[in-house]
Every structure is written in structure tokens, then in C-alpha cells.
Chain A
Amino acid sequence: MEIGMSDKRVAVGRTGARVAAVGAVVGAAAGVALVPAGAAHANIIGIGNAAFGNSCTNVGAAQSRGATTASAGAASGNVTQLPLNLQRNQCGNSGIVCAGCGG
């Protein structure tokens, strides 16, 4: 069954007027973690390895520390293309206790 998530929900952005929320079932279904049981880390809120702070390091990269301090301008609102030049940060994993808990 294909369901267009939120295609039944009319949400008005900056005007702030919301009309309906019919897509409750599918919308509700989107709310929790995508990591399977047995994941090494406890990313509780949602996707990605948000278990680690922004000080994660790029292993072997010249700019290993502070790699995630890239300027916001590197990706500022330009969604016409992906910033494929960005590095993927590597992080330690000690079975972090309660990561990704922040909202």
C-alpha cells in the first residue's frame, strides 16, 4: 500500500493555519528509530548515528579534529545540489549510554 506521507495532511507553513491531520497512521509511524535491534549504539530518537558529539573525528584525515566545525555556509540552504565534498565523520563507539537523547 502506498501512502503519500502527509499528502492527506494539509499543513500551512508560515501562515500557521493547519487544516487537518488525516494521515495520522502513517505520520505516527514515522516517529521512531530506524536502527535495528542489536545496534551497537543507543540512538534513541531517530536515524543516523547521532550518538556522538560534534567533536567526532575524521579518521586519517588531515583535518581530523574539528572536522565537523565546517562553516554553516558550506551547506547553507542550497538544496539544489548535495555538498558531496563534505567529509564523513568517524566517531568512537563505546556502547554510548544514552545518545541522541536530546531533542
Chain B
Amino acid sequence: MGVGVMDAVVLPSEAMLEFAALNGRHLPLLREWVAGHPDAGVPRALLACVEADGLGGEELGDEELKAQMAGAFKAAKAENGRAASLVYGLFLTSLRQHRLAAEHLLRHFADYPGDEVAGLMLGVFHASADPALQRAGEALTEQQYQFMGPQSWAWASWLSWVRAEQCRPQEAIALSEHALGLFPRSGVAVHARAHADHDLGAGAESVARVDGWLAENPEAVQLRHLNWHAALQSIACGDFVEARRRADEVLKRSDVGMRAAANWRLLLAGQSPARLSEPDHVRELLAAPEAMADTLHTFNLALALACESAVEDLQRLAATAEGDEREAFREVVAPVARALAYVCAGAPGQAVTLLEPLGDALEGLGGVRVEREIVHDTLARALAETGQGERAAALLEDRLTRRTHHRYEDLLLTPRPATAFPAVPAP
């Protein structure tokens, strides 16, 4: 499909601005737009996408989702090739067929370079869990930014993301600041900056930046997630009271992963955790069919178990993962879960034996670096507790060098007797 001039796609400007503002007001606007413009395929598909995950209320059933997408696709085909291609990609994304969606996007951007609507689907590259596709997604983002030029805050924001995850924080910061200069409400840019700040140990400066942006965007989609980043920065600079306060005030019951990721850090550093997830809720998630759907999800549940020192549950989870047909579960999730059990049981040496050989295989946990980093933290603490302080320091050397605030890392390296982690309630 050779294309000279990008086909037009009719979209409601006001609703799209609300999307950009991340203030949750976009849904009624989009619904209104769809009702008034039934011939526009892309808005209909966007609405179906939003509703597919129940984010607009009740989750759409499969058949209803497909019916809505089919209608949107028919309308889009009557418009032009770009609209049809966008709806095709939105359909695959709504089905969480991430690999197929990523492959489609590669073709889409070849025909419609710089398409910012298609940019909304970039997450499928990372979600594909295919390193080759993830690299292709990063390269594509860079190419689109180069194509569109610096006037596109959206592409600057997305490239800032890529740079942050590539551990190129200074470039990420420059792109983030550029994007925010063009469009101060870019949540993507703010989040990318939070990741760059994490790499640099920006501490209170980052907390202030997050709080300042959230004050201007109080209904932001990333409200809880950015607060979680701020809590990690408080931990980085040793303000554990503030980290607990923020976690307890902001995180919801459903935020099992974020709560566990904050609390396990606090426990590793010898501090009291914030409020733990409800044990029954964690076990409910573990018993659900989706418990082993995704490595990062299972890993988060393992962290939640570790925070309550649920050694037997962790051992059971590890055994289940060991029997899984998928390599990432057998080779990464299983030893990590078992290592967490050993740490909780006061046997850090056995945790070292399991964690140290993992190396780059840890990427099999999925997620992003800031999410996987906690495994290194666990290994460093286990090394320190077994009298291998030098090896622990070597493991964290890069962080200690790069991060302005590294009180957390210092505490990980502080010699303390190996003890089982009690699920100490916050004072």
C-alpha cells in the first residue's frame, strides 16, 4: 500500500485533548462523538478499546467487542486506508494480541509515518515479550521522532520513554523536558522523567517534581503510579516515614504489585513496611486462572507473599512455576520465588545460590528495569547477610556511582544478622 499523502482520520479534537490531559473526562466526550458521527471508524474503535477492559464501566464481552470492532472497521474502510489500518491495529490491541498488533504497527508506520494515533498502541511492542519486537519498537519510535521532528511532543514523550528504559537518563530528561515545554500535561513525559530520576537517584527533587505535576493534573491516569515512584524516591533518600505515608494514602487494594514493590524494599532495608496487601486478596489472585498468565504478574504476587513472609505459599508457587511449560516461568519465576522464600525463612545463602546465576535471564520476568531491579536488591541483601559484602557492593556499584541519593542501597549493604522477615505492621 504505497501512500503519498497521509489519509485523513476524523477524530474529535476535544475528546482527544481530554485523553492527552489524562483527566478521565475523555470517555463521555468520546461517547458523544461516536453517537454523533457513526460514520467515523477510528473513534468507534477507540471507544471499544477503552471499554474492552472495563475501563469505561462494565467490561465488554468478547462477542460485543468484536461486533463493535467489525462495525468500526466497516466504517473505517469506507473512509480511507489509514483509518482501516488503525482500526485493524486497535482490534488486535483490544484482543491483547500484542505480537500481531506490533507486527501490524510496523507495516502501518511504513505507510503512515509519524501517525500519532497509531502511537497510542506502541505499548504492544513491549508487551509482546519478544526481545526482537521490543527492539524493533524502540527503533521505530526513534525513527518516527526523527521523521516528525521536535515539534511533536507526543513522539518526544515516547522517545523519552525509550531512552529511560535504555538507561540513558540524560537523553530521557532532555526529551521529557522538551515535550513538557510543548505540552505541559504530557503524562508520558512526566512518567519517563520519573524513570530517569530513578536511575539518577534524584530523591526529594523528583518527589517535588511529581507532586508539582500532579497538583496541576490531580485526576491524572498515572496518579497512583507516579505516587509510587515518589515513594521509591523517598526510600532512595532514606525518608521511610514519607514513603509509608504515601503508599498508605494513595495505593488502593488492587495495587498489589506497587504495594509489594515498595514494602519489599522497605523490608530489605530493615525498615517497617507500609500497610500490606490483604492476604486473602493475594491468595485469591493466586488461585485465579490468570495467576500464571504473565511472568510479571506472578512475580508481583510472589513479592506480596514475601512481604508477609508466606514461605509455604512461596514454595508452592515456585513448585508450580517449575512445572510450567514456559521457559520464563521455569527458569526465572521459579528460582526467584524460591529465593524469596529462603530470604523470608532466614536462609539468604540459599537465595544467593538461586539468584546469582540468573544474570540477564532476569529480563524474562518482563516489565521494565525499575520493576526487575528489586531482584538485584534481594540478591545484594542476601550477599550482605552472608558476609559477602564486597560482592554485594560490586553488584550495586553502578547505582552507587550514578545515583545522587542512595541511602537505600547503603542500607542493603549494611551488615546485619540474617533474620527471617516478619511482616511487621507499620507503626
Please list the residues of chain A having a beta carbon within 8 angstroms of any beta carbon in chain B. Answer: 1-7, 9-16, 18, 21, 24-40, 42-57, 59-60, 64-66, 68-70, 72, 74-77, 79-82, 84, 86-103
Q: What's the nearest-Cβ distance from chain B to residue A26, in Å?
A: 5
Complex contacts, A16 vs chain B, CB 8 Å: 147
Complex contacts, A81 vs chain B, CB 8 Å: 73
SS class, residues of chain B in contact with chain A: helix
Query: Cα distance A36–B219 when bound, in Å?
Result: 9
Contact call B127/A54, Cβ cutoff below 8 A: yes
Name B229's closest neighbour in chain A (CB-CB): A98
Contact call B70/A55, Cβ cutoff below 8 A: no
Please list the residues of chain B having a beta carbon within 8 angstroms of any beta carbon in chain A. Answer: 2-14, 16-17, 19-24, 26-27, 37, 46, 49-50, 52-53, 55-56, 62, 65-66, 69-70, 73, 77, 81-82, 84-85, 88, 90-101, 103-104, 107, 110-117, 119-130, 134, 137-138, 141, 147-149, 151-155, 157-159, 161-162, 165, 182-183, 185-188, 191, 195, 219-225, 228, 251-252, 254-259, 261, 285, 288-298, 300-301, 304, 325-326, 328, 366-368, 370-371
Of the listed residues A4, A21, A24, A102, the one surrounded by the most CB atoms of chain B closer than 10 A to its CB is A102
Complex contacts, B256 vs chain A, CB 8 Å: 94-95
Contact call B297/A52, Cβ cutoff below 8 A: yes
Of the listed residues B14, B112, B149, B225, the one surrounded by the most CB atoms of chain A closer than 10 A to its CB is B225
Contact call B88/A96, Cβ cutoff below 8 A: no
Contact call B88/A79, Cβ cutoff below 8 A: yes
Of the listed residues A27, A66, A81, A84, the one surrounded by the most CB atoms of chain B closer than 10 A to its CB is A27
Tell whether A52 pairs with B115 under 8 Å between CB atoms, given A28-B182, A95-B258.
no
Complex contacts, B130 vs chain A, CB 8 Å: 54
